[in-house]
Structure 1
């Protein structure tokens, strides 16, 4: 068995606006279990970045610890990356983002990394509205330590050993909405048609964009009785709408019947086309999103799709009034303006 990815690619492989093929957005060969939902999420990210013609070196991937946090190795091999401490990905991303606001930040975490040891960090990065895409690859178990139940394991869910979960789960989507996240979505690793446009919209959003992706663990949590198995999610998945993302540079057109669709325009002029599946659902209404999630949970259904978006958010750089230029591009005369300026600042606090 080899862990080396072959270099050969079809000479007529399609290219994007930058002249790159999808190969230019790949990473190392995955060492996760065959059939792991996390690999499907990596593939969706590769496709999203390729279709958006994002320069790989303009992306920074940050992760914590866990099966999910290994996955940045498997996509965008030519981008920046940092594998941080368990549960501390948000604070590392915050520091990097404040130092260089020009990069696109993709944080990859898991249900253990975010809902257990990293829950406090997750809460604060949400309420600070850091400009990033935060993905939780949620399999409801601790895959690296033999499948113990995690904080997101659904009540009455049965694991591979036959143990039934009696604890109330933490719903990270509901938590993100309550804490003020400005882009909230849920998807399924096996639904690329929904996941790819969600990722494209999230990376175009200014502010904290959160996607909770149900990603079955084929080794420890894909059995009958698990509520995060492939079969259960496919049978109980209810989408808010069909989704299509149109970047600002493309012509904005729609062929949807009047009254059946909604357009959401992001701050940069990009448009999200929604063909509604749930009558009356408004993705710009935070309270309605929370109610819809709870209503579907009570019926034993998993609500996926774009759940909430704020089209004109204020991110952390706006709040702090930071420099419009990355700190590493500032010259000494700006960073060290001299003693007179320092004395003036000190006087302003007296």
Structure 2
């Protein structure tokens, strides 16, 4: 694979964040995706979110699998740790990395095929284990690398570009994630940066499993008038259940707000998340409200976007199984090798 590097020279007066980095410092190589691909908009939102969060790039581990979506990790955070796994196996690789070093920020980027087809089992177990990561699924309802077959998230009412029907019902990743215990579940549209950037920031700050299902149209294979994942369809059928505004302790990040009820939620780092809901009946903290509402939107052919569900308990895999308080490479030798008496006690407990 040929990578096109971006020039290293840049304007000396580019704005810098609190750690002295410019937006260019959060970029990667030049994208080789189709011009107009929604995935590139997601990349731009990730770069903006990390810049605003003032994340040191070396503290981020970006993980991916196989597919057009999984290529995008090459286009941002060029100075971060990264691992491109095999098809559908990104969650298990991320689990191992997270257990070994809990001090990193884990950002996984996957696609609808990588997540809802070959990787569905891995996705499900990462959710139920409350793996501390932000999982972004760039969802276009099609297999772009293999020329446009339906994916498992393609709606039954959505035809392919040749006019053929999908014979199966779609898998709704947000409903699946809520059912399995994800603590932060959101859906966004790649073309709405004002909505997507605050969601990414909030998802990265959440301790536990956070999912953002991003409708990201494939301009080559699934952007025709009969597709429910096209730019025009999502713009015409988008029902925003909430507009998010995240206020960190350091400074405010603004976003457009929708009219309605506002709920202030405190994140585990002390920052405030203000959620403005367009419907007083929708409670994003109640799964028994969220799941039927999402099903109703789907039946009506509408695309629900925004923060769909939030569990304020914020527990992760380390909390559940009681792991070491720091990265394993910082555990001293005497703790790693406690001696034969400790080993004998462990063996005796299993006899």
Residues 168-204 of structure 1, C-alpha deviation per residue, up to 9 Å, x if partnerless? 0011111001111110000000001000000000000
What's the CA shift for 1:252?
11
2:12 aligned partner: 11
| Residues 62 and 108, structure 1, Cα contact 8 Å, conserved in 2 | yes
What's the CA shift for 1:328?
1.0
1:298 aligned partner: 299
2:176 aligned partner: 175
Q: 1:166 to 1:251 in 2, by over 3 A?
A: closer
Normalising by the residue count of structure 1, what TM-score does the alignment of the two structures yield? 0.96
**Residues 1:47 and 2:48 aligned together:** yes
**Residues 1:133 and 2:134 aligned together:** yes
What's the CA shift for 1:279?
2.2
2:97 aligned partner: 96
What's the CA shift for 1:259?
7.2
Give the match's secondary structure for 2:239: strand
Runs of 5+ unmatched residues, structure 1: none
Give the match's secondary structure for 2:185: strand
| Residues 156 and 166, structure 1, Cα contact 8 Å, conserved in 2 | no
1:318 aligned partner: 319
1:201 aligned partner: 202
2:225 aligned partner: 224
What's the CA shift for 1:345?
2.7
Judge which range, 51-60 or 283-292, deviates more: 283-292
1:35 aligned partner: 36
Runs of 4+ in 1 over 6 A off after TM superposition: 251-254, 256-259
**Residues 1:346 and 2:343 aligned together:** no
1:281 aligned partner: 282
Residues 8-51 of structure 1, C-alpha deviation per residue, up to 9 Å, x if partnerless? 32222111010110011000100000000001001100000000
Normalising by the residue count of structure 2, what TM-score does the alignment of the two structures yield? 0.95
Report matched runs for 1:62-211 at 5 Å. Answer: 62-211=63-212
What's the CA shift for 1:249?
3.2
Q: 1:294 to 1:132 in 2, by over 3 A?
A: same
| Residues 245 and 273, structure 1, Cα contact 8 Å, conserved in 2 | yes
| Residues 68 and 137, structure 1, Cα contact 8 Å, conserved in 2 | yes
What's the CA shift for 1:331?
2.0
What's the CA shift for 1:271?
1.3
What's the CA shift for 1:5?
1.5
Give the match's secondary structure for 1:145: coil
Distance (Å, rounded) in 2 between the aligned partners of 1:253 and 1:166: 43
1:245 aligned partner: 246
What's the CA shift for 1:244?
0.6
Give the match's secondary structure for 1:262: strand
What's the CA shift for 1:164?
1.3
Distance (Å, rounded) in 1 between the aligned partners of 2:258 and 2:220: 44
Judge which range, 328-337 or 195-204, deviates more: 328-337
Runs of 5+ unmatched residues, structure 2: none
| Residues 139 and 217, structure 2, Cα contact 8 Å, conserved in 1 | yes
Distance (Å, rounded) in 2 between the aligned partners of 1:207 and 1:3: 35
**Residues 1:266 and 2:272 aligned together:** no
What's the CA shift for 1:340?
1.6
Distance (Å, rounded) in 2 between the aligned partners of 1:258 and 1:194: 14
Judge which range, 153-162 or 225-234, deviates more: 153-162
